[in-house]
Every structure is written in structure tokens, then in C-alpha cells.
Homo-oligomer: A and B are copies of this chain.
Amino acid sequence: MTEAYVIGAGQTPFGAFPDESYRSLFQRAYESALESTDGTIDSDAVDEAVIGTLGVGGRQLGLSGPAVTEHVGLEGVPCTRVENACAAGGYAVRQAVQAVRSGMADLVVAGGFEVMTDMSGDLTKYWLGVSGETEWERLTGTTFAGVYAQMASAYMDRYGVDTEPFSRVAVKNHANGAKNPNAHLGFTCSLEDAEGGAPVADPLNLYHCCPTSDGAAVALVASEEFLEDYDGERIRVAGVGASSDPVGLADRDTYTGIPASERAAETAYEMAGIGPDDVDFAEVHDCFAIAEVLAYEDLGFCERGEAPSLLENGTTDLDGDLPVNPSGGLKSKGHPIGATGTGQVAEVFKQLTGNAGDRQLDDPQRGLTHNVGGSGGAAVVHVFERVMAE
């Protein structure tokens, strides 16, 4: 069985880009990934492509994968679109890893994209809503923020906390994103700012919600065989885990955790032969601040109910023992749905190869990515390890 490696990754800035299309954004991300290999890789080397997108806006509902790969000159290459709502990008990376490990491809483009800022608020609400459950959530009027608000309420009730942990997520992630030139919301905020945000879905306020963004991100996944003739940077895909769960929140076992995340992490840790204590930093799915709080506990970074203290004592700050979302996360960096999971991998690649600029961590050896679909109907976790170039 060949191992899989990421040998390059890149992304567009995340934000609002009225002059770009989904194709031009994908092209910019793809070129950025190729550039990250110091220009040593070009399209001729690509054996396969896997593209994650929810298809927000319905621009090209069918064949949206080939529609972007043809635009960058990859026509002819096998291309599959994958969709698991907000985890589409993470699953694209996972499928690329399977393609490589299957022996059917030596270099796979794992990409993701979304264009979300060119539509009305009602249409945005619709396209976010389709990532939740249809009959009992969206069609009953429950917004996507409303689903996470129910999880936030349940957490506050169970552990006797207020909204301060959510606000601390915002403060930390905006501080990190302010150091990331690709961040959509690259401003800093105070705890007072974050506590005083306008209500969105009680108890979540504006500072507890990520933006909707345009953007694309691409990772290049290669086999061991490919690396025999390649001298550039690479990080090893040490662990991969995924799990599903009922799409509707009411059908799950708990409101104060995401069981799919917990199972995905267990699988990824087992494959990597490590535990959560061995992770040096993580990019986690903070679509709403409560999601980052739950992630700490689902991923085993602390016991149940202890996530607020990790935020309070600075453990997950950029200079803490376990930095979480050094990129700024979905909260500050942005959340162009299909691009989010591949964008997380781009951040880990940059951190593990020492190319993360002002937000570079101190010599990290191992990074984790965590991408959630909907409110937890799907989750995917990857563990990446630094490898010295030969």
C-alpha cells in the first residue's frame, strides 16, 4: 500500500470578489498550488482530480467538477465532484488520498470552490439551509444559524456557561486572521466587541458566526512512487477518518457534541498511531463559534465541558500549547463552502513547511484538519506530519 503525501497547496484569498467567477477562482487556487511546488509540477503530471463544491447559486449543478478542471487545461483527466455540504473539500482530499493509495493515480488535484456573495440574503439563507436537514429543519423555517444556536443553548445549559467562550473563539480567530493576507475578515476584535454583537440566532450573535465567502483552494496529493523523482517539500498524510450521522440535529444522540467528528477523529488517530496529545496544532470547523467549542471536545483536546477553560487560559491561542485555527478559521479567514476543507489543508501545508508568514508556528511537526458537513451529518479529519525534503 502506497502512502499519500501533500506536495503542494494553495488558495485564493477568501472574500467577496464580484469580478471573479467560480472558474477563475479555481484557476487562481490551482496556479497557487502549482507555484507552491516552486513551479516544478505542471498539469501534465496530474492523473486525476476530485472537486468539492456544494454548488451554491446553482451555476453549474451538474458536472461542476469537469467544468472547472477543463478551464485550467486538465480536460481528459478523470474528474469527480464530491459534495458533503460544508465538508465537500475535506472529502475531496480524502478521496484523493484513496485514489493515490488505490494505485490508480500518482498525483491527484484535490480542489474546492464556492461563490456565495453575489446573491440576496434570502437566497444565501436558502443555500445555507440546504446543508441542513430539509423536511424538519429548512422547510420548517429553521435557519442554519438556528440549528447551531440550538447546540449552543444546549451546551450553555449543560455546563452552566454563558456566551463568553463563543466570544473568545471570535477574539482568538480574528487575531489570527489579522495575520493572514488571505482572510476575508482580517480585523481584530475585543472580547467586549464580540460579546456585544448584533443577535443572529440567540444565543449566537454576529461575532459568533462566520461570513459567507467566495474562494477556492487546492491541494496536490501524491504517491510514494511519485516522490521517488521529486525533491520538493512534502507532508505525509498520516491519518484519515470520516463518519456520518443523521442529517437532522433532532435525530442525533447529543446536542452537545458532534458524534461524527468524534468517530472521524478516532479513526484518524488510530491510522496515524497517535492520540490527541500528539497534535501540535489544528484547523477546525468553526462555522459558528459553538462548533469550535464542540470540536475541542470531539477531537479529544480536552474532556467534555472543559473547552471554555482552554479558551480562557490561552491554550489554543497562536502562542499557546495547542494553537487552533492559526489561519483565522472559518470565522475570520472565511467559509466558501466547498473550498473550506482544502483551504484547511493549504494552511497545514504552509505551517508544516515553514511558509505561514506572520502567523508561523514554532517548528510544528504534526497538524490536524477537521471539516464538518451541515451540523454534523458528515465529518472528516486528517492528520498530517512534517517530512524533511531529501
Q: Which residues in A have some Cβ–Cβ distance to B below 8 Å?
A: 1, 49, 54-55, 58-67, 69-70, 74-86, 91, 94-95, 97-104, 130-134, 240, 242-247, 251, 259-260, 263-264, 373-374, 377-378, 380
Contact = CB atoms under 8 A, between A and B. Distances in A.
B102 A134 contact: no
- Which of A70, A75, A85, A240: most chain B CB closer than 10 A? A75
A293 B266 CA distance: 50
Contacts of A76: 243-245, 259-260, 263
Given A104-B240, A377-B66, A84 B80 contact: yes
Given A79-B378, A80-B95, A95-B80, A70 B103 contact: no
Nearest to A103: B1
Contact of A98 (B54, B102, B373): B102
Contact of A247 (B70, B85, B134): B70
B91 A80 contact: yes
Contacts of A58: 130
A16 B62 CA distance: 23
Contacts of A102: 1, 97-102
B79 A244 contact: yes
- Which of A62, A130, A240: most chain B CB closer than 10 A? A62
Contacts of A242: 78, 80
Given A79-B378, A97-B102, 13 more contacts: A1-B1, A54-B62, A62-B131, A62-B374, A63-B131, A66-B378, A70-B247, A76-B259, A79-B244, A80-B82, A80-B378, A101-B103, A104-B240
Contacts of A81: 82-84
A106 to B, nearest CB: 13
A77 B54 CA distance: 21
Nearest to A100: B102
Contacts of A60: 130, 133-134, 247
Contacts of A66: 84, 244-247, 373, 377-378
Contacts of A69: 244
Contacts of A246: 66, 70, 75
Nearest to A375: B63
A377 to B, nearest CB: 4
Given A63-B377, A95-B95, A102-B102, A243 B131 contact: no
A184 B327 CA distance: 53
